[in-house]
Amino acid sequence: MAADFLKTHSINKQDDMSKVQSSVSAATRKGSRLSCQRVKDIRGVRLPKRDPESRWDIVIEDGTIASIAPHDTQSLFPDTASEISNAHDCFLAPSLCHPHVHLDKCFLLNDAKYADLSIQNGDFAEALSLTSQAKSRFSPDDLLRRGSWLIEESIEAGVTCMRAFVEVDATVRFKCLEAGLQLKEQYQDACEIQICAFAQDPIFSGENAVENRRLMEEALQRDEVGVVGSTPYVEADETKMRQNVDWAINAAWKYGKHLDLHLDYNLNREKEPMVYYVIAQLHSRQWLSERRSKTVVLGHCTRLTLFTVDQWRDLRNRIGDLPVSFVGLPTSDLFMMGKPPNDSGGGERVRGTLQIPQMIQQYGLEGAISINNVGNAFTPQGNCDPLSIASMCVGIYQAGTKQDAEILYECVSTRAKAAIGCGDRKELEFHAGDEADFILFDVATYSGRRGRRTLEELVYDPPRKRSNVHKGHTILLRIN
């Protein structure tokens, strides 16, 4: 019925979609930026936090939402509809975000160059070893190839913003950084890529520690690098872990960068969480008064899953007003954490990943969820769709209510963006003046297919057909 309505106004939705897909695919094959087309109006959509039976028209000007009004069914579409998106019955929601993704070591298990580096044990030590071996073979061509796979598949899923980790150390030096910066520029019209110079290797332990630190310092002097990232738990002992934290905080302060730490990646009750030291040092450095615009993200933090209610409340009080967000990385955490000994009989299989919805709802903490790795020894499973993680987390967190679903969507969208400093909006409802960054879920019932009427339905069962609008321009339309 909707298709008939569109045709009566000289608009063939399927033809328009196919044309956009064709142009995007052609651009991608050439290795150029994804094509984009200006959008002025989006008509007849369902919106989050509004009556699912209502339809809305959105006008876009200069990359922002100029107005939102009830759908005008009497309005005739112009003959030239290149700047009109006729989206009758489709669901429009905020675009998605990767707040934590490793750009340089993605898809190692999918690349023939690394076919000999297959998983045998599936533990953290092996993942570090296999990745280290792979890093010694990294070249600009394969970094760009695999990185473009991740970015393009992410854009297809609806991602318009990501924090991309690229390693800097004595092995790869600036190979990963240079590739990341090239990809950042190449895809800048389709996705905001925030580059994090990342110290995966020790910077206070081992023979390369001094050189690793020197290279990181050099990388952080580049304006295109927005974040300093480090991994304190790879250091040889607790003293060096604290030195790692101190260095990272001071470097972020010195160079005016966001801070992102991989932290407390264990399930050991006897091990004192490093998060307490990090929070104390941020307060000591007066981060709040001088670096309010720069965020702090703490990733993994699986040790915190063993906290009691009192310990959570204590942590919340310690954080105070610091701009700290926790990012749960469930696909990696569930694969890496708690693997039982081979002779255990299989009955013991402890798991640990941050209970992000509970942390937000019960303790007032800030949090988000991300894919972390994809296609490597740390996380062989999964894809580049953040919404697939949100859907999986319905089961992981036993979070099935409407409110749960809304928070899970926020955690891969608005909250994820806020966590990494890409805007401060966390709510799902659209307002005039908001940036025109969203996904059009093309699941209208005009085709006779089952549609999604509410946001929770999107989370329970994410549809595959999506179209991005980034800064008021259509970027990519997924048809398959």
Q: What is the pLDDT of residue 85?
A: 65
Rounded distance, CA 372 to CA 461, Å?
21
Q: What is the pLDDT of residue 291?
A: 63
Rounded distance, CA 185 to CA 162, Å?
13
Q: What is the pLDDT of residue 349?
A: 65
Task: Give the strands of the sheet with 192-199, arranged side by side.
Answer: 96-102, 159-167, 192-199, 225-230, 258-263, 296-300, 324-328, 366-369
Phi, psi dihedrals of residue 355, rounded to the nearest 5°: -85, 75
Whether the Cβ atoms of residue 201 and residue 233 lie closer than 8 Å to each other: no
Q: What is the pLDDT of residue 36?
A: 77
Q: What is the pLDDT of residue 27?
A: 38
Rounded distance, CA 367 to CA 348, Å?
29
Please list the ranges in the chain whose pLDDT falls under 70. Answer: 1-33, 74-86, 290-292, 338, 340-341, 344-349, 443-449, 476-480
Residues in CB range of 352: below 8 A, 6 or more apart: 267, 302, 303, 305, 306, 333, 337, 338
Q: What is the pLDDT of residue 15?
A: 43
Q: What is the pLDDT of residue 308?
A: 96
Q: What is the pLDDT of residue 422?
A: 92
What is the pTM for the complete model shown? Answer: 0.89
Q: What is the pLDDT of residue 149?
A: 94
